Structure formats: structure tokens, C-alpha cells
Amino acid sequence: MLEILGSLIGSPWIYGVIAISVLLDVFLPLLPSGVLVVAAATAVAGTTAADAANLPSHARRAAESAHLPEFLGLVLCAATASVLGDLVAYRLAWRGGDRFDRAISRSRRLTAAQERLGQALVAGGGALVVLARFAPAGRSVVSLTAGVAHRRAKEFVPWSALAGLTWAAYSVSLGYFGAQWMGAAWHGTAVSVLALFAMGTLAAYVLRRQPPRDAAAEKP
């Protein structure tokens, strides 16, 4: 993967591949969009290290700065695609709430996830949209739940934007620092991806720990 992504670094194709993957994984959560963003950032970091090798310190800093727009581009590309995917899911669920409810009700796991995340969203406010962005399928369930419940766009979209930007910056940072500490080889990418999955597991655990809405309302 790193070799393929490395060949795409510096061309517009890398942003298109990432954008499509991130945009679609709101409907297909099994798509490895996070892994792709981490691997792309690792590949950029590897190119940066190669360009800066054997250069004096002042020239090394200039070579590293030359690749800063690529890191920023990855963050903005992934964040923008994340928000657009959320909005598409939100609007589809808004218009076809009954159909989505019937589809979700056929799966016990999706029904339970919808109830937990829906209750957490109501009880905890928009900050949980950010947390759910890291949880497996959390982005999908929150976007669909917000649409089915006809929550106003101004209540959902700003938090979706913050969630997408936070997730994108975290994923790119993992790829960058993983390559800095362990090199731009497969094991550096593997450690960064494990850190991404660990964050997802932690986010899912925190969301599951959110009290049900009725229980929260009974507290004085």
C-alpha cells in the first residue's frame, strides 16, 4: 500500500482516492478510509525524510517545510469528505426516515447502536458527535439518527465539521509521527493504524458507558 500511495503522492489522484473512500464509508463502514489516510500521511512523511536526508540542518528544515502543504491537503481533503458524507446520510435519513427505521430494525446490532448513540447524542450534546466519529460505524449511526430525528442542521453540521476535522488531523498526525519515530516502513504504518483502532475502541467504550436517556432524566 505504501508503494502505491507513494507513487500517488504529489498528484491530485491521492486526494481523489481519499475523498471517495471517506465519503463512502458513512454508508460502507467497512471501507478502510482511516487506514488509507494514515498510510498516505506515512508515505508523505517518508518522502519528506528522504528529501531531507544528508542535508544540513537549515536545508533539512526547508525540505520538511516544503511538504507541509501536502499534510494540510490530506487533512482538509479527509475532513471535507467526512462532512459531505455526513450531510448526504443526514439528508437521506431526513427524507426517508421511515424506510431507514425499517431497514435498521431488521438488524438487532444496528438497532441497539442507534438507541445507544441516539440517547448519548441527546444526553451529552454535540460533543458526542466528535467522539462517535472515531467509533466503528459511529459516524453512520449518528448521521442517520440525526436525520431520522429531524434534528436541525445548525445543531448537527458544526459538530460534524469539528468531528471530521479532528478525526482527519488525528489520522494524519498518526501517520506523520509514526513515520518519524519508526520510519516509513510497514511496521511504522502498522503501529499508527493500531493507535487509530485503539482510539476507535476507546470511543466505542465511552459511548456505551453513556447512561440511557430515561436514567439520566431521573437523576436529581
Write the pLDDT tens digit of every residue in 138-196: 888 888 888 877 778 887 888 899 999 999 999 999 988 887 777 656 666 788 888 88
Query: Can you tell me the distance from the alpha carbon of 54 to that of 101, in angstroms, rounded to the nearest whole number?
Result: 60
Write the pLDDT tens digit of every residue in 30-89: 777 888 898 888 888 776 655 445 555 555 565 556 667 888 999 999 999 999 999 999
pLDDT at 10 over 60: no
Nearest alpha-carbon partner for 126 in 110, 104, 146, 97: 146
Contact 163, 130 (CB under 8 A): yes
Write the pLDDT tens digit of every residue in 26-46: 888 777 788 889 888 888 877
Report the predicted TM-score, pTM, of the whole model to 2 decimal places.
Answer: 0.79
Write the pLDDT tens digit of every residue in 206-215: 877 755 444 3
